[in-house]
Homo-oligomer: A and B are copies of this chain.
Amino acid sequence: MESSEVRASGYWYGDDPEARTGVDALNALRRYRVAETAMRRRTRSALRMNETDMMALRFIVNAEREARAVSPKDLAGYLGISSASTTVLVDRLVASGHLSRAKHPSDGRAVVLAVTPTTHADMQETFGDMHRRMMAVARQLDAHEATIVTSFLEQMSHAVSHEEK
């Protein structure tokens, strides 16, 4: 209904062809989401793995980075799936050689999960470059710009979360 005024607010940027409006920013945000979703799908199919399995591996890799042990229960909580589904998920990842199960040193019921060295390297390779590119873009922002971007995204998060009227 308001598409006719989309480009109407260049009043103080004059007719700078680079001038953008808030609506452009909104569209860019939508496009980013699409790009990210596509990236996830690509990664998933490249590694022959579903989204949940991906997230599980990333979670465990990150936990290992800070020397934190991960149990199936932790994983289930993080992923928001049942413990039964988690068992099957871990089975899959063990079968595909990405993960190993080990007994918990002090609790006989518990299991400690660890990624195999190969997988650790694969994850690094798969996400390392992308993460570096994103970081490079982020670092280009000066404090002024970072504040604007951060504030915009925080407000958008709020707009999206705000279920109460």
Contact = CB atoms under 8 A, between A and B. Distances in A.
Interface of A: 2, 9-13, 16, 18-26, 28-29, 31-33, 35-36, 38-39, 42, 129-130, 133-163, 165
B146 A159 contact: no
Given A19-B147, A22-B146, 7 more contacts: A9-B142, A20-B151, A24-B150, A25-B150, A28-B154, A35-B160, A130-B162
A151 B129 CA distance: 21
7 contacts: A2-B135, A18-B147, A21-B138, A28-B153, A35-B161, A39-B163, A145-B152
Q: Give the 4 A-B CB pairs with smallest separation, nearest first.
A: A22-B138, A28-B153, A133-B159, A20-B146
- Give the dominant DSSP class at A's interface: helix
Nearest to A152: B149
Contacts of A146: 19-22, 24-25
Contacts of A16: 143
A144 B144 CA distance: 12
